[in-house]
A and B are shown apart, each in its own frame.
Chain A
Amino acid sequence: MSALTDRLDACRAEGRAALVGYLPVGYPDLETSLAAMRVLVEAGCDVVEVGPPYSDPVLDGPMIQHAAAKALEGGVRVDDAFTAVRAVADAGAVPVVMSYANLMLQRGWERFAADLSEAGGAGVITPDLTPDAAPEWVDAARAADVDTIFLVAPSTTRERMHLTCGASRGFVYATPLMGVTGERASVGDAAPRVVAEARAAGAERVCIGVGVSTGAQAAEVGRYADGVIVGTAFVRALGDDGDLERLRAKVSELADGVRTGR
């Protein structure tokens, strides 16, 4: 049990899916990104995914690539992600970090886990690190009581589904579409299947990410998933001009969505 599972279970007790919001640290600048994360919490996100920007984000589409590049140009550091984690925790949501592997390796697996824990973070989502590739990370996270959140995809085999769900803590991150982050007209037919397969493989909590950008989609996905993860739509709403009210309106739309789903 962790702060993350407690929060997801509390949402479940309310009869709804959790809303998980992603934002990159430092976009459009550090101060605005911290304010934006507070807006996420105020407008209804239960969990906030803090993204330290990375120079080579292979699982991200054009919007998040753009945001990461702008953040890096602005001089944001991995240290700032832990500041953001603290800000989210103080605002009352559960913070997790979504990080590409090299940023974690360079800081050191143990130090990354310890710094996260100290900042009040609950877990780490690793888009380019699978459990079989990262026994060192799993050990470090377990030792620091940090949840390891791994991804599953429509292409995930039965064997790998068991491996991944077994190594995941907090929740399993299901990507219902093959592809990079970004908005889609539909979250795809595979979504219920991937969630069902993850549950069959032992996952107690499954959140859906990649492709969700509207309240209607959140409502649809929230019927069978424990959480709805939204990134690109929030980044786009925030924009280069850092419009916090536009962001707040978008978050409210999604927050209403998860509340009308069931």
Chain B
Amino acid sequence: MTASLQEAPGPFFGAFGGRFVPEALMAALDELTDAYDKARIDPEFTGELERLARDYTGRPSIVTEVPRFAAHAGGARVFLKREDLNHTGSHKINNVLGQALLTKRLGKTRVIAETGAGQHGVATATAAALMNLDCVIYMGEEDTERQALNVARMRLLGAEVIPVATGTRTLRDAINEAFRDWVTNVETTNYVFGTAAGPHPFPAMVRDFQRVISVEARAQMLELGGLPDAVLACVGGGSNAIGSFDAFLDDRDVRLIGCEAAGDGVETGRHAATLTGGRPGILHGSRSFILQDDDGQTLPSHSISAGLDYPGVGPQHTWLADIGRAEYWPVTDADAMEAFRLLTRTEGILPAIESAHALAGAIRLGRELGPDATLLVTLSGRGDKDVEQAARWFDMLPEGDG
């Protein structure tokens, strides 16, 4: 009998994971781990989280078959798990509600978070408003420019948004700055980490909070006729992907495919495809794959999608790649935007550019497998935030306006 791969506890996933942080944070991480270990088996906590998922987020999210889109994907059957329909517009709310509830349990009054595209920041600001917590969001200055609408949303929700002007001015620098804040204010503050990366317990805890995606989707697919041949999700840090994979990990006939942001193409060096183009290292508190030079300096990443523009990846993904349980495909900006256009035009669903990377993977796989295949794609978020960027890409802005 093979051991289950589901709900792997950490801190290590094979050779990856762990906790590589300043000593000053160790007590807080121990405290958080302890609180989470108790909460996850406490019916009061799990019951409250389920209630919020149902009455606030709007779970379970539906599964939508998209036949007109699928006609461009080799005629395979394609189903979308609609995390874009969640309150706040992405899967991020699943994780944030769990961590905000934990913050209350810890007796802390302030939350901080990093954000790339702004989806995690918006979700955190939302939970902070709901649960009466002070909230500070760190966001790379470049991202505040390309996602200005989400900055305004966070401010409307009462959060303070701090643009981070150091380094590459993107998600990675926002995480650095959030860690610096946490080291300084750890007594009052909980760090609501947005992805399934970082030091233990974050990779396992964030995965657990996102696991609802695959638990629901697996039951929904069985009801629709059977397990899919493959599950596809986009991977930046990898929270929606690990949440989409976990309940399928023991279904060995279901292929699990993470779609990484290949930017201009992995061969150009301007990309964020960490598992395709990186190698093992330590970044942001855990051992995983990272994009780095020979000395170990982190390299700048590039993607049209702010949410995937990150030179690291969650350690459980690295492990799943290592043991061959999941595949990780690079998807270029151009392929993602073509998938974005296709879904919008054929189905009337505007995906987040992040999620469009998974759609591009589905087009490729569908063409490979043909009409007998069934594909499940996690639509991690909606594309309202990306309208301006997409309009610019497709040259649809009024003349002289971009």
Contact B180 A55 (CB under 8 A): no
Kindly identify, within residues 25 to 42 of chain B, every residue whose CB is under 8 Å from any CB belonging to chain A: 25-28, 30
Q: Does B172 contact A (CB under 8 A)?
A: yes
Which single residue of chain B is at the shortest CB-CB distance from A173? B23
Which chain A residues have a beta carbon within 8 Å of chain B's beta carbons?
54-59, 61-62, 65, 69, 72, 77-78, 101-107, 127-130, 133, 150-157, 160, 164, 175, 178-180
Contact B284 A56 (CB under 8 A): yes
Contact B24 A56 (CB under 8 A): no
Contact A150 B183 (CB under 8 A): no
- Contact with A78, one of B172, B185, B285, B295 (Cβ below 8 angstroms): B295
- Contact with A107, one of B27, B186, B296 (Cβ below 8 angstroms): B296
Q: Scan B6-26; emit 1 where CB is below 8 A from any A CB, else 0.
A: 000000000000111111111
Q: Within 8 Å CB of B187, what residues of A?
A: 155, 178
Known: A56-B172, A155-B186. A106 touches B281 (CB 8 A): yes
In this complex, how many residues of chain B approach chain A with their Cβ under 8 Å: the count is 35
Counting from the closest, the 9 A-B pairs by CB-CB distance are A106-B296, A153-B24, A179-B184, A102-B296, A55-B297, A58-B179, A102-B282, A155-B27, A55-B298
- Contact with B282, one of A77, A105, A156, A160 (Cβ below 8 angstroms): A105
- Contact with A153, one of B22, B180, B294 (Cβ below 8 angstroms): B22
16 pairs, CB–CB < 8 Å, chain A vs chain B: A61-B180, A72-B297, A77-B295, A102-B292, A106-B292, A107-B295, A128-B20, A128-B21, A128-B285, A151-B22, A153-B22, A153-B24, A175-B24, A178-B187, A180-B180, A180-B184
Q: Does B283 contact A (CB under 8 A)?
A: yes
Complex: how many Å from CA A175 to CA B26?
Answer: 14
Q: Within 8 Å CB of A78, what residues of B?
A: 295-296
Contact B186 A133 (CB under 8 A): no
Residue pairs across A and B with CB atoms within 8 Å: the count is 108
Complex: how many Å from CA A133 to CA B176?
Answer: 20
Q: Does B46 contact A (CB under 8 A)?
A: no
Which chain B residues have a beta carbon within 8 Å of chain A's beta carbons?
18-28, 30, 166-167, 172, 176, 179-180, 183-187, 281-285, 290, 292, 294-298
Contact A133 B167 (CB under 8 A): no
Beyond known contacts A101-B282, A102-B283, A104-B296: 4 more, CB 8 A cutoff: A59-B183, A107-B296, A128-B20, A152-B23
Complex: how many Å from CA A55 to CA B295?
Answer: 10
Known: A128-B22, A151-B23, A152-B23. A58 touches B298 (CB 8 A): no
Complex: how many Å from CA A155 to CA B185?
Answer: 11
Q: Within 8 Å CB of A62, what residues of B?
A: 166
Complex: how many Å from CA A59 to CA B297?
Answer: 16
Known: A55-B167, A128-B21, A151-B23. A105 touches B183 (CB 8 A): no
Complex: how many Å from CA A220 to CA B256?
Answer: 60
Contact A160 B184 (CB under 8 A): no
Complex: how many Å from CA A110 to CA B26?
Answer: 26
Contact A65 B166 (CB under 8 A): yes
Complex: how many Å from CA A180 to CA B285?
Answer: 16
Contact B21 A178 (CB under 8 A): no
Contact B298 A155 (CB under 8 A): no
- Report the minimum CB–CB distance from A225 to chain B (whole Å): 17
Q: Within 8 Å CB of A155, what residues of B?
A: 24-28, 186-187
- Report the minimum CB–CB distance from A56 to chain B (whole Å): 5
Complex: how many Å from CA A180 to CA B28?
Answer: 16
Complex: how many Å from CA A104 to CA B295?
Answer: 9
Contact A58 B176 (CB under 8 A): yes
Contact A56 B283 (CB under 8 A): yes
Contact A133 B296 (CB under 8 A): no
Complex: how many Å from CA A151 to CA B20?
Answer: 13
Q: Within 8 Å CB of A58, what residues of B?
A: 21-22, 176, 179-180, 183, 284
Which single residue of chain B is at the shortest CB-CB distance from A164? B23
Q: Within 8 Å CB of A150, what residues of B?
A: 23
Complex: how many Å from CA A155 to CA B19?
Answer: 17
